[in-house]
Structure formats: structure tokens, C-alpha cells
Structure 1
Amino acid sequence: MTSMPLRKMVRVTLATALLSATVTASALAQGAGLGAAGELVDPDILRVCADPSNMPFTDESGEGFENKLAELVAEKTGRKSVAYTWFPMVVGFVRNTLRANRCDIIMGFAQGDELVQNTNAYYRSSYALLYKKGGGLDGVETIEDPKLAGKRIGVVQGTPPGSNMAKANLMKTAKVYPLMVDTRFAPSVAEVMIKDMLAGVIDAAVVWGPMGGYYAKKSGADLAVVPLVKEKTGSRMTYRITMGVRPSDQEWKRALNRVIRENQKEINDILISFGVPLLDEQDRPITQ
């Protein structure tokens, strides 16, 4: 994960899921209070829009790394608590949460997505190649590496690495996993891929780095998590991740940018503790 395209890989589209409540701006102003410059941002509570079952990002139990980041943001902006509006990360997520003024922030959104106004990026990561160390793939850093020829590689349907694998003639032996999985009722696709790899069903897996890194760490196995930053052709693999706010909330965005700037080390520590492969602007790994 991360952005709508990245996160949709772990949710099934719930076309009938709608928010029944319609809240007017005047009612929200009374309930939430007007923030700086008349912005409709609650000054006392950090109101977060999030998916209730989307580990390692967010979870209703508060165990995700974006849950931990929300607690940090609340503390640093003087909020007394964090309150969530839960909604599945599917089409209509932004419209039914942030744009409906039911919350004031989405903790993780890919930079450049026009559905929200982005803060400065607070981390940068990429899709990653995962394999068992000592299993014959040590040293592989790109999808084009000849060592992958004939290997059974797990890839999520419709994600950027698939096009690179097709160009490298790896799709004939690939195992394709579904883009949409309802994680309320089934394990994350990244978790399934790693279990399959440990069981010998596949030789390697290509998945969004924060998900792959988290489930690789959780598995307890000796796995390589290699960010795909050396691809010479094909789709974009690396993304900057921001916080998303409403376009009208300029002061709020500036406040969040200050939090990011002044607390980057603490943010990195949270992400690293979840196994997120962090990259600097030169694609070098950030380890502390």
C-alpha cells in the first residue's frame, strides 16, 4: 500500500455500501467547530477516515501503523483523542468520508492523486520482490533477472509489476492472485502469498512493499524483501505516500506538514517497526 489503487488490492468492491447519513455544513460546524480560517476541521478531536480491516495500514482494533501515526498526529496537533469514520477502501471512499465532512484526514494517500489535497510525503516505498533466502534467488534485484526465468512467481492481478513480468516472459509460469479480497472474511493477499511461498507453491512473490514487509516480518521466516527500484523499463514501482485532506483546508495541511517535518524520525520508527521498506529520494533504504 497507501492510495486508492494500492489499497484496492486488499478489499472487495462493495457496490451497495452507502452512508445513509447526510450531514449539512451548518450541522457539522455546530458539532465539530470551525478551525483556522473557517476550515471545517475539529480542533479537539482528530477525525480520521479509515478502512476497518486493512492491515498493516488500519484496523478497527487500532493495530495498524496508520492507527499509530494517527495517535502521533493527534498528540502533536493538540487533539484530545482520535475518532474514526470506518468505511471500506473502495470506490466512493473519499466521497463518502472526507468529502462528506465526516472526518478531516486520510492517513495514507499516494502523492498526486486528485481525489484529495496531499500533504508533504511522510514516506516513500515501492513494490517489492520477496523470496526465501538461500533458495537460489539470493542477489536478485529486478524482475528481468535471468534467475527468475521459469520460476513460479506470485503477483496480484492488475498491479504494476504484472506488466514488467509480462515483458520478461514470466507470466506463463506465474500464479496470479485476486486484486479484490474482503479482508473482513479472508486473509490479506500478501499473507496468502507468503504462506504459499513457504509451502513451496510459489518460488517468489511481488507485492506492494509495506504489505510484503509486514507479512514477511510477521511470518518469522528468513525472507528477502527487495524493493524494485532498479527496473529499467515498465510501470512505475515507487510511490510517495502523504496524508490526504480536503482542498479547502489549507491551514490544516500546513499544520500537518509541520508535524511531518518535525517528527520524521518518530514516523520512520513506527513504519520500520511494521517492516515497511522505506526509501529515500535516491532509492536508498532507510533503516533507522
Structure 2
Amino acid sequence: MALAVGLAFAGGALAELPERQQREALRVCADGNNLPFSNQAGEGFENRIAELMADDLGVPLTYVWAPQVMGFVRNTLELRVCDVIMGTPAGYEFVQNTNPYYRSVYSLVVPEDSDLVATRLSDPAFEGRRIGVVAETPPTVPLRRSGARIQGYPLMVDTRVRAPVRDAIEDVVSGNTDGAVLWGPLAGYYAARQDPSLKLIPLVDDDSDATLDYRITMGIRHGEPHWKDWINDFIDRHQEEIDAILTEYGVPLLDRRGRLLNAQAGGDT
């Protein structure tokens, strides 16, 4: 995701400098090995949306690559070497959030022939099942309450070295786990790339106390109202194109009321 979990606080004097008025390029802060979001080959959906933004601005697209681990904001956006992070959760205090450009939800990934078809974490069907979950993510506690046997994967990793979500999906494919509950964009992308593809079940009916759906914004520096206004206008004008890109990558999308927009989100891209 970039859900930006664990990104370090990066306040201070740098954020007090005047807002840039001229942009010779769209300078994006991104992880270079973090599909389906971004990579250095430009294959992620955030790369695609950034290309759309650069075209709209009429400027070249450039990147500052850094693994999205502790210190990402401090070492990129707040050093002013780049001007926007493409995916940050609404309310993330260490950046100024734009309007959301998509909303997604944690999803269950299971083999196509599985009888586990739960759309809520409190479903009794989870009892005794071995379920893969990334450590410290919201589904962990409700799944334990439901009696699931948790197979954990690390949260904060250097994506150049490890790919815990891919590991979780491979464990479902091999039968080491009965399923995995993962952030929607990751779940949809990797589920569709198995042969045969895995079943994606967005947890839209969840009644636990966990927050499973998130609105995703673009993150910019505080004190840049004109830049924020431009990006909000861009999102508004290009929302249909953005939705089409996200659907192509298998992202389960929710509308403003939390209802699933693209029922076939787990299909091939």
C-alpha cells in the first residue's frame, strides 16, 4: 500500500519553506520494488497514475526511489527532492493528504475450490483454519478471536530483499495455509497472477471492531495549498481513468458508502 504504515515523522523547518510555484517535472517519491504499487520499470498502478498526472501537467515524470520503510517521508518528501507520494492513507498526519483517489478493503484469498467464503472476520468458518496475515495489520486480532490459526508475515521489510505478501500467497497456493487476509490491492494483484488464479473475497460485510477499508490519498508537504488544489482537481477530472487503471490491477474498489464497485476485481489484468 501503500498504507504508509511505519513511515517516520518528518516535521521541522523544511516544511516551512515557501511553496514551489513552477514545476519543471512531476517529481514522485516511490518505492522502486513494490508491485502492484510501483517499481523502477514503471509497471505499478501508481506509476500509471503518475504518468497520467505528468501528462496533465505537461512536464516530464521523474522519481526518487527509496524503500518504503522507517524514514521514507523524512528522506524523500521532506528533503524536497520530490513533491508527491502517490499512495498514503487518509488522515496520515506526517503528510498533507489530498482528496482520496480510491477506497479499498482487506480481502480473503483462498483457492478457487475452497469452501471458505467468509465476507466477515467473525465468521465461524475461520475456526481452526490456518490463515496468513501480515503482522500487526488490522485483521490479526479478529481472526484470533474467531479461532483461526495465524501464520504471520513481517510488516516492515526492505522490499529489495523480502516480499511477505507474495510469500503469503504462495503458501495459499501450496496448501501450507487455508487462505490469507491481505490489503485489497495486494490481495487482488497477486491472486490473479496464480495459475489457476485464486478466489478474492473482499471483506465488505465485516462486523468486527477492526478498520478494514481505507481511503487512499496522495501525500504532499504541509503548507502547499496550491499543489493540493491542483491534485484534487486532477483526481476529480480523471477519476474514471484512475478507477479503470486500478480495476485492471485487480484492486477491489469501494464507493463512498463502502459498497463494492468492481465485483470482478480479482480477475486477470
Q: Residues 178, 149 of structure 1: CA spacing in aligned structure 2 closer, same or farther, 3 A cutoff?
A: same
For the pair 1:130 / 2:120, whether they are aligned, the reply is no
Q: Residues 167, 41 of structure 1: CA spacing in aligned structure 2 closer, same or farther, 3 A cutoff?
A: farther
Give the corresponding residue for 1:242: 217
| One-letter amino acid matched to 1:71 | E
Give the corresponding residue for 1:177: 153
**Root-mean-square deviation over aligned CA pairs:** 2.0
Give the corresponding residue for 2:96: 117
Q: Residues 42, 131 of structure 1: CA spacing in aligned structure 2 closer, same or farther, 3 A cutoff?
A: farther
Aligned to 2:77, what secondary structure does the other structure show? coil
Matches within 5 A, 1:244-283: 244-283=219-258
% same residue: 44
Give the corresponding residue for 1:164: 142
> Deviation string for 1:78-113 (max 9, x for gaps)?
22x111111111121111111111111111100001
Shift of 1:40: 1.9
Shift of 1:174: 2.0
> Deviation string for 1:27-76 (max 9, x for gaps)?
xx9xxxxxxxx622552200011111111111111111111110001111
Shift of 1:119: 0.6
Structure 1 CA distance for aligned equivalents of residues 21 and 51 of structure 2: 17
Give the corresponding residue for 1:208: 183
Matches within 5 A, 1:64-103: 64-79=44-59, 81-103=60-82
- The number of equivalent residue pairs is 257
| Contiguous gaps of at least 5 residues in structure 2 | 9-13, 265-269
Structure 1 CA distance for aligned equivalents of residues 170 and 85 of structure 2: 30
Structure 1 CA distance for aligned equivalents of residues 144 and 85 of structure 2: 34
Structure 1 CA distance for aligned equivalents of residues 181 and 160 of structure 2: 23
Structure 1 CA distance for aligned equivalents of residues 219 and 61 of structure 2: 16
Q: Residues 51, 42 of structure 1: CA spacing in aligned structure 2 closer, same or farther, 3 A cutoff?
A: farther
Structure 2 CA distance for aligned equivalents of residues 3 and 207 of structure 1: 12
Q: Do the aligned residues in 2 keep the contact of 1:155 with 1:207 (CA within 8 Å)?
A: yes
Structure 2 CA distance for aligned equivalents of residues 61 and 243 of structure 1: 21
TM-score, normalised relative to structure 2: 0.89
> Larger radius of gyration, structure 1 or 2?
1
Aligned to 1:219, what secondary structure does the other structure show? coil
Q: Do the aligned residues in 1 keep the contact of 2:67 with 2:158 (CA within 8 Å)?
A: no
Q: Do the aligned residues in 2 keep the contact of 1:118 with 1:243 (CA within 8 Å)?
A: yes
